[in-house]
Amino acid sequence: MVRLILGLKGSGKTKLLVDLVRKAVEEENGSVICLEKDKKLTYDIPYTVRLIHASDYKFGAAEFFKGFISGLHAANYDITHIFIDNFFKMFSDVGLDGMGALIAELDAFGEAEGVKFTISATCDPALVGDDVKKYVRAQ
């Protein structure tokens, strides 16, 4: 399952994501992971969450990111939820046009492995295609 949180800069996406991380820690029985581009959420995320700074790994390409997610899961089958903040800032090769395909692959991975994804991205929700809109959840 993938849940997208879309909005323009300053619309409260990260605050909502942090609130959802805290809720997941309280309600879920497995490991919770949070990926962020830089080290901005260090003091906002509960210490029980595995906080990963993407800048340490230089994702760059979507293929690297998919391998990274697979590796995380291979190392820890107990992951129940992966949160991703600032989706577009993680990649050099994924824009609005490539977002749908990558999200669909994450959704398929999540369904197969029992992992939920919650992703925030800075963009105008009106500009995304139907392939992405189906993952946007009411905030």
Task: Express each pLDDT in 81-122 by its tens digit.
Answer: 999 998 888 876 566 667 788 889 999 999 999 999 999 988
Rounded Cα gap, residues 107 and 132, in angstroms: 11
Range of the domain at 21: 2-133
**CB burial readout 33-69, b (16+ within 10 A) else e:** bbbbbeeebeebbeeebebbebeeeebeebeebeebb
139 part of a folded domain: no
In 3-state terms, what secondary structure has residue 78? coil
63 part of a folded domain: yes
12 part of a folded domain: yes
Q: What is the DSSP letter of 4?
A: E
125 part of a folded domain: yes
Average pLDDT score over residue span 17-46:
90
Say which CATH number the domain at 97 has: 3.40.50.300
pTM (predicted TM-score) = 0.90
112 part of a folded domain: yes
Rounded Cα gap, residues 1 and 22, in angstroms: 18
Report for 30-34, 41-45, 135-139: range of highest mean pLDDT? 30-34
Rounded Cα gap, residues 113 and 6, in angstroms: 25
138 part of a folded domain: no
113 part of a folded domain: yes
Domains of the chain: total: 1
